[in-house]
Every structure is written in C-alpha cells, then in structure tokens.
Structure 1
Amino acid sequence: MTQQNTRYTRTPRSEKLKWVDYVVNLMDNQFSFPGTKWRFGLDPILGLFPVVGDLASFSVSAMLVLTMARHGASGKLVALMLLNIALDFTIGSIPVLGNIFDFAFKANERNVRMLRRHYEEGKYQGSGKGIILGALIGIAVLLVLVVWALWELAEWVYYLIVS
C-alpha cells in the first residue's frame, strides 16, 4: 500500500481550500526537532503564553472550521471538528500538561484529515445535532460536578476555619 499524500486530491473544491493546508501546516507541522521526524507548529508555541496564546490558537482553529463549513463540510463533520478544537482548547489551557498535550494532539491536522475523508470517501454525511446535544449534556454534567466539588471544598474550608 502506498502512503496517502497529505494534500487534497486536486479538485475545484480543494483548490479553494489550498490555503487551509498552508495554515494547518503552520499551526501543527511547520517545525521539527533536529534529528527526529517529530514535527510541531505554532499551536504549542502559542500555548506557552497563558490565555492569550490559547485564545489565538482557538481563533485560528475556529476560522479554519468556519472556512471548511462554508466549502461544503456536513453538519456532523463540523460538529466533530468543533469538538476537536474545544478539546484542544480546554486541555491545552491547563498549565504544563496542556503544553505537552498541544505538542501531541494537533486538532487542526485531525480536522483536515476528517475533511479529506469527507470529500474523498463521502463520510460524515448528515446532521451533527446528536453530537452537539451529547457534548452540551456532557458539559452540563461536568459543570454540575465542578459546582458540587467547589461547594464541598468551600464547606470543608469553612469548617476548618470555624473549628
């Protein structure tokens, strides 16, 4: 089997998205560690700047997803792409662990691979409403757990101080 080329098959639609490949390469694969095949881009470097860097990376990723959606990505594919960048943003915001995660996860590259499969293989057809609903329910459950944990922590601190 031959290794699949990292570029799109040249079609009128892929020509319109040529710059997406360029931005994804810049964000996820522009540089390499000397003597290795391991590549990284601006995303993990921007992640070294708390809040501002993560917001900049998220903005670029969101812009890429928006562009891909405008050029025919299905609702389900866009929902999956948004989950990728939300995961990258959420975990990437954690100090130290997030920086390591940014070097390995490469959400933009994953999104372009999904887009390529969408165009070439016809996958990811249909609506992404179920995925979005599931993500919203998961976020709501997580929020409830965080509020509960903070409440328990506040009670413990209160009793520690009062006692």
Structure 2
Amino acid sequence: MNASASAAPASRPRRYLPDMPGLGRDPASVRARIEALEFVLERAVQVPGLKRAIGLDAIAGLVPVVGDLVTAALGFWLVWEARNLGLPRWRLWQMSANVAFDTAVGAVPVVGDAFDVLFRSNSRNLKIIRKHLDRHHPASGVIEG
C-alpha cells in the first residue's frame, strides 16, 4: 500500500463544512439558509382549526421576555445576512424596523401573542431579500418543477 495515497497532505487540513449545501457564502447558499429560517420562524407548524401556520416566533412569544429576545435575535440575523448580500442601507433599515416592531408589539402580554400570528416580519424581510437576489443574483433562484 502506498503511504502517500492513504494519508492526507499535512499542509492542508480537510474541510468538510464548505462542501455541505447551504453553508457557503454564495448567494444560493444564503438564499437556502434564510428561506429555511423564515420557514421555521413563521410557518413550521399547522395549527388544527386555523387556516394559518405558525412558527417559532409565535410559539416562543408565549415565553415572556426570553422568547421575544430569541426570535428578535434570529430576525436580526436575517438582516445581517441581507447586509452581507449588499442590500442598500434603506432596505436594511426597513428590515430592522420590521423586526423591531414585531418584537415591541410581540412583547405585550396576550395581545402580542395574537399579533405574532398575524404580523410576519421575517416573511416580509424574506420578500425584500428575494427581490434583491432575483435582481442582482438571478442564478441563486430555485427552479421548482
């Protein structure tokens, strides 16, 4: 057995993460990540009797303070991803305002929980990001068949 064929080169470590789908910095990977996060935050669970799916944003909002802070952090992560994609500042401010408004009203007991089901800041922000990606990075679009 050849020793050079079985051993990895010592100068270059193996890197598995960049080869996994959705973990890169390219627009297609970013699109996959933000669409998955938006789904989890806004539409992951179908509630029987409601014609509307809810997500982690509405469920975590039931936990006072901590739930709202966690979902706000995840919402601002979408804004950070948008910044890395090169969205204009005014769009980033608009997205930040969506998350801040959702967090502020969602923090109000009872009323905020109902509001989290109706106002989907992350879906609004995903729409803004998709519009930018479709215009500036059309190859990142997903063709559904």
TM-score by length of 1: 0.63
User: Could you tell me which residue of structure 1 aligns to residue 92 of structure 2?
Assistant: 78
Query: In structure 2, which of residues 74, 78, 88 is the aligned counterpart of residue 60 of structure 1?
Result: 74
Q: Aligned ranges for residues 82-101 of structure 1 at < 5 Å?
A: 82-101=96-115
Matches within 5 A, 1:25-36: 25-34=39-48, 36=50
Match of 2:126 in 1: 112
State, as a whole percentage, how many aligned pairs show the same letter.
31
User: What value does the CA root-mean-square deviation take over the aligned residues?
Assistant: 1.6
Unpaired segments ≥5 residues, structure 1: 1-11, 123-163
Instruction: Report the TM-score when normalising by structure 2.
Output: 0.71
Does 1:40 pair with 2:54?
yes
Q: Deviations over 1:123-151 (max 9, x none)?
A: xxxxxxxxxxxxxxxxxxxxxxxxxxxxx
Q: Does the CA contact (< 8 Å) of 2:61 and 2:68 recur in 1?
A: yes
What is the Cα deviation at residue 16 of structure 1? 3.0
> How far apart are residue 109 of structure 1 and its match?
0.7
Contact 2:27–2:133, Cα closer than 8 Å, also in 1? no
| Superposition pairs of residues 122-141 of structure 1, within 5 angstroms | none
CA–CA distance in 1 between the matches of 2:70 and 2:30?
24
Aligned twin of 1:103: 117
Distance 1:116 1:63 in 2: 16
Write the distance in 2 (CA, Å) between the matches of 1:41 and 1:105: 12
Q: Which residue of 2 aligns with 1:127?
A: none
Quick check: which one's helix share is greater? 1
Amino acid at match of 1:80: Q
TM alignment of 1:145-156, pairs within 5 A: none
Alignment check: 8 A CA contact 1:17 1:68 kept? no
Deviation by residue 1:43-76 (Cα, 9 ceiling, x = unmatched): 0110001111110110110111101211222111
After superposing on structure 2, the runs of 4+ consecutive aligned residues of structure 1 that deviate more than 6 Å are none
Task: State the alpha-carbon separation in 2 of the partners of residues 45 and 35 from structure 1.
Answer: 16
CA contact (8 A) 2:30 2:81 kept: no
Of stretches 12-21 and 100-109 in structure 1, the one that deviates more from structure 2 is: 12-21
Aligned length: 111
Q: In 2, Cα distance between the equivalents of 1:72 and 1:32?
A: 34
